[in-house]
Amino acid sequence: MAKQVGKCNLCDLAQPLCKSHIIPKAFFRDAMAGELGRGLNMITPERIEIGKMAGEYERLLCRECEELIGTYEDYGTRFFRRQVGERLRIFNDEVVPDDIDLIGNVDLRLLRLFIISVLWRASISSRPFFDKVYLGPFELVARKIIREEITLSDDLFPFFMNRYTETDHAKRMLFNPLPTRIGQLRFFNVNMGGFNVAIKVDKRDLGCLHDFIWKTLTRAGVVLVYEKRLFGSEEYAAIQQVARMARANSQKPAQRNLR
């Protein structure tokens, strides 16, 4: 089969294009555990797509650029599957509360590049699963960061992270990235591996206290993870609403999207 040639979205060169998984395939495999014969349900606020077998991918990048992002992806995937970093019990001579994790010995540069690369690929993707993600002028900024054309400073794409307390349930749910606001600031929520990551896409500062916390932890190579209840959350409420819609429309033909 002839290779599909097109303009790579990262280097702008006409090259054979690879199948780029916007969210790493490993998270889809985790969600598919025990369900390999039936396929995976992909849930958005508007629809359920059934029969997904290999996740969401699209021909976006050439092989060289795919390998560049793959370096970030390898690290980010291991982090979210809890194979890197260590939980700190003491930080700055203070006991860490039980309802949060401070994860130390983290390569924050690689982790941030991974998170930014997922959000950027979602923004440029034409897949319906990512149709709520639009970065506007931040799309070019993210692209330059991924290409290492500009320095990844503290004020670019800072994030807050939650881990769902019902981790096993959360790992089996893949919910599309959605815009949200924290105060007046614009964020995007991305869910991976039982974690929810809220990434700031806004030129305004976080605010004095949040900026201080973010910069202090970043410079220490530490990630702050809050616990979050899945059941009762906005995400779970949206999933329940979709399920009700699906039941109401159960007589209509299902949209199949076999991979």
pLDDT tens string, the chain, 259 residues long: the values are 457 899 999 999 999 999 888 988 888 877 776 555 444 555 555 555 555 555 788 999 999 999 999 999 999 999 998 778 888 999 989 999 888 889 999 999 999 999 999 999 999 999 988 999 999 999 999 999 999 999 999 999 999 999 888 777 777 777 788 899 988 999 999 988 889 999 999 999 999 899 999 999 999 999 999 888 877 777 677 667 766 765 666 545 444 443 4
Q: Token pair for residue 215?
A: 């910069």
Residue with tokens 């890197």: 84
pTM: 0.85
Burial class (CB in 10 A: 0-12, 13-18, 19+), 59: middle
Closest CA to 23 of 55, 66, 60, 68: 55
Please enumerate in sequence order all residues whose Cβ is within 8 A of that of 142, keeping only pairs 6 or more positions apart, or say none. 116, 117, 119, 120, 123, 135, 157
Please enumerate in sequence order all residues whose Cβ is within 8 A of that of 221, keeping only pairs 6 or more positions apart, or say none. 104, 105, 106, 107, 108
Q: Token pair for residue 129?
A: 């699963």
* Exposure string over 181-195, b if 16+ CB within 10 A, otherwise e: eeeebbbbbbbbbbb
